Chain A
Amino acid sequence: NAGVMQNPRHLVRRRGQEARLRCSPMKGHSHVYWYRQLPEEGLKFMVYLQKENIIDESGMPKERFSAEFPKEGPSILRIQQVVRGDSAAYFCASAQETQYFGPGTRLLVL
């Protein structure tokens, strides 16, 4: 698990604000996945990215959510106009063969 970095670890937002979650994959990994974990539930896939490309966004809500993985810098998951239902833990994973997970960002929407 060491090596996948996520920040911030905790984020508090008021309804209507924007949340930006960052993920730096392990060195040498070019695949990044984002998952969401609602309270007392398992992780659900959101989006799969490679550098500068979205490969699979089938788990991403159609509105307010976007993700990118630029050529330089971390992957960003952006949530616009947050609502209370967005409160969750958001995990990023990077992979070559096995997916390794970061520590997660706990988002709380007040």
Chain B
Amino acid sequence: GIQVEQSPPDLILQEGANSTLRCNFSDSVNNLQWFHQNPWGQLINLFYIPSGTKQNGRLSATTVATERYSLLYISSSQTTDSGVYFCAVSFGNEKLTFGTGTRLTIIP
């Protein structure tokens, strides 16, 4: 099956800093989603981005499908950005394969 790797596994930043999270996947996909799991365990959809670039406020994402990676950018971090960020991929209308996540901690 598809392998999904995320880096870094952990990231600790001061409030206001910027960060880049990476997701590598092993095979062609036509669905890639980024999620934020907050400290209460809820999964929040951030982006549906099988290719190209999208922006939503302080967050943006880029997927280069031909090179099998995606990047999530967080600018001007806030403490509410803390949590685990997951990348998940699938091909067709199939099950999502999740990466192991990046745990982000924002220090005030």
Interface residues of A (CB under 8 A from B): 1, 31, 33, 35, 41-45, 48, 56, 58-59, 89, 91, 93, 95, 97-101, 103-104, 106
The CB with the most chain B CB atoms within 10 A, among A33, A41, A42, A97, is that of A42
CB atoms of B41 and A100 under 8 A apart: no
- Whether A104 contacts B42 by the Cβ 8 Å rule is yes
What total count of A-B pairs have CB within 8 Å? 53
> Once the chains bind, are B95 and A56 in contact (CB under 8 Å)?
yes
A45 to B94, CA, bound (A): 10
Question: What is the interface size of chain B, counting residues whose CB is below 8 A from a CB of the partner?
Answer: 20
Q: Which residue of chain B lies nearest to A58 when distances are taken between CB atoms in the complex? A: B95
Q: At the interface with chain A, which of B43-51, B64-72, B74-82?
A: B43-51
Give chain B nearest CB distance to A43 CB in angstroms: 5
B86 contacts the other chain (CB 8 A): yes
Which chain A residues border B98 with CB–CB below 8 Å? 35, 42-44
